[in-house]
């Protein structure tokens, strides 16, 4: 019963994440940028833009320029989340396959990263509460988002370091879902909380501020080449005005 419920929940969450995000990305990709608006100085070549965007999404360059504390906590959280996500591959894939050779090596980093993730999130949460300017701009959803991520991290750490769970069965459950079979899911409370929160995150991803993830790649101030004099840039709807 519980297994079925969680199976349905994850099918729904995956559909929301994939379809919702896909539609949003398609919308961004289809919407024209009528004018050249890169924040200058900006690269004058496509490869330059690629490098700018790479710096932006790997080391959060603009945020670093802006505020070292937000950068520290934010970057710590994001990198930790990445390491943890990579570690989670071991629960979804057949590790005997050669392309997953790196997973066992990455595993210990994923474990340490959980501390960094919690620290980063706590830092962001404390700032949201104590810094007057940030408190002013925060809505309930902004706090809840941090609490949701903290809940995911802490329930996961609870399983890893304290309560434990039958991880083999968990893996069978998820491998089963990929083959449209519902295998029994262990009923460890920490696991159920962890999975429910993760599914929630997947569901709200395409309809919340988490869209900053795909959004940054479509941001004209960051992804445009600075070459308006050399190359005429014009949106399809603007071309209509010339007829």
Partner 1 sequence: MASLDMNAEGGPRLVPDDVFKIPKLACDAMADSHPYPAYPEHNMKIGFPGELLENWQEVAIAKIGELAKRNRAFQVYLDACVKCGACTDKCHYFLGSGDPKNMPVARQDLLRSVYRRYYTFAGKYFPWLVGARDLTKEVLDEWYAYYHQCSQCRRCSVFCPYGIDTAEISMAAREIMDSVGIGQKYCNEIIGKVKDIGNNLGLQEKGLRATLEGLEEDIEDDTGVSVRIPLDEKGADILLITPSADFFAEPHIEGLLGYAKVFHQAGVSWTISSYASEAANFGMFIGSYENMRDLALRIRKAAEDLGVKRIVFGECGHAWRVAYSFLNTLAGPFDFLDPNYPVPQHILEFTWDEIQKGTLKFDKSRNDHYRLTYHDSCNVARASRMGDKPGGQFEIPRNVIKAVCNNYFEMDRDTIKESTLCCGGGGGLLTDEVMDIRVKGATPRMTALKQVTQDHGVTHMAAICAICKTQFSKVMPKFGYEMDSIVSVHQLVSNAIILDGQETEEDADPVGEAAAAEVS
Nearest-angstrom CA–CA distance, 125 and 143: 7
Quick one: which of 4, 11, 12, 34 contacts partner 1 (CB under 8 A)? 34
Nearest-angstrom CA–CA distance, 47 and 58: 16
Contact present, 219 and 36 (Cβ < 8 Å): no
Does 130 participate in binding partner 1 (rule CB under 8 A)? yes
Does 229 participate in binding partner 1 (rule CB under 8 A)? yes
Does 25 participate in binding partner 1 (rule CB under 8 A)? no
Per CB under 8 A, which of residues 82..121 are in contact with partner 1? none
| Distance, CA of 107 to chain centre | 19
For partner 1, what does the binding mask look like between residues 162 and 201, x meaning CB under 8 A? Answer: ----------------------------------------
- Residue from 235, 225, 230, 238 nearest 41 by CA: 225
- Between 179 and 231, CB nearer to partner 1: 231
Contact present, 21 and 29 (Cβ < 8 Å): no
Does 219 participate in binding partner 1 (rule CB under 8 A)? yes
- Residue from 85, 78, 87, 81 nearest 106 by CA: 87
Quick one: which of 13, 21, 42, 125 contacts partner 1 (CB under 8 A)? 42
Residues in the chain: 243
- Between 163 and 208, CB nearer to partner 1: 208
Paired tokens of 159: 């399983």
Does 79 participate in binding partner 1 (rule CB under 8 A)? no
Least Cβ distance, residue 73 to partner 1 (angstroms) = 9
The kind and range of the H/E element at 168 are: helix 167-178
Residues of the shown chain interacting with partner 1 in the complex, contacts defined by CB under 8 A: 24, 27-28, 31-37, 39-44, 56, 60, 62-63, 65-70, 74, 124, 126-128, 130-134, 136-142, 144, 207-209, 211-212, 215-216, 218-222, 226, 228-235, 237-238, 241
């Amino acid at each position: 019963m519980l297994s079925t419920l969680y199976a349905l929940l994850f099918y729904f969450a995956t559909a929301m994440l994939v379809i919702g995000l896909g539609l949003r990305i398609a919308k961004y990709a289809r919407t024209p940028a009528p004018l050249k608006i890169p924040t200058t100085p900006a690269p004058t070549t496509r490869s330059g833009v690629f490098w700018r965007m790479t710096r932006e999404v790997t080391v959060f360059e603009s945020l670093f320029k802006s505020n070292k504390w937000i950068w520290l906590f934010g970057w710590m959280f994001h990198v930790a989340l990445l390491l943890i996500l990579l570690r989670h591959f071991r629960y979804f894939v057949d590790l005997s396959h050669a392309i997953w050779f790196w997973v066992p090596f990455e595993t210990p980093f994923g474990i340490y990263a959980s501390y960094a993730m919690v620290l980063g999130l706590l830092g962001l949460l404390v700032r949201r509460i104590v810094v007057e300017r940030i408190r002013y701009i925060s809505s309930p959803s902004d706090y809840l988002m941090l609490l949701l991520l903290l809940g995911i991290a802490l329930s996961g750490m609870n399983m890893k370091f304290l309560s434990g769970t039958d991880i083999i069965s968990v893996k069978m459950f998820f491998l089963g879902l990929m083959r449209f079979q519902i295998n029994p899911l262990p009923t460890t409370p920490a696991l159920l909380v962890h999975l429910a929160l993760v599914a929630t995150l997947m569901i709200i991803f395409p309809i919340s501020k988490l869209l900053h993830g795909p959004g940054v790649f479509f941001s004209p101030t960051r992804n445009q080449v600075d070459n308006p004099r050399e190359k005429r840039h014009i949106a399809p709807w603007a071309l209509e005005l010339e007829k």
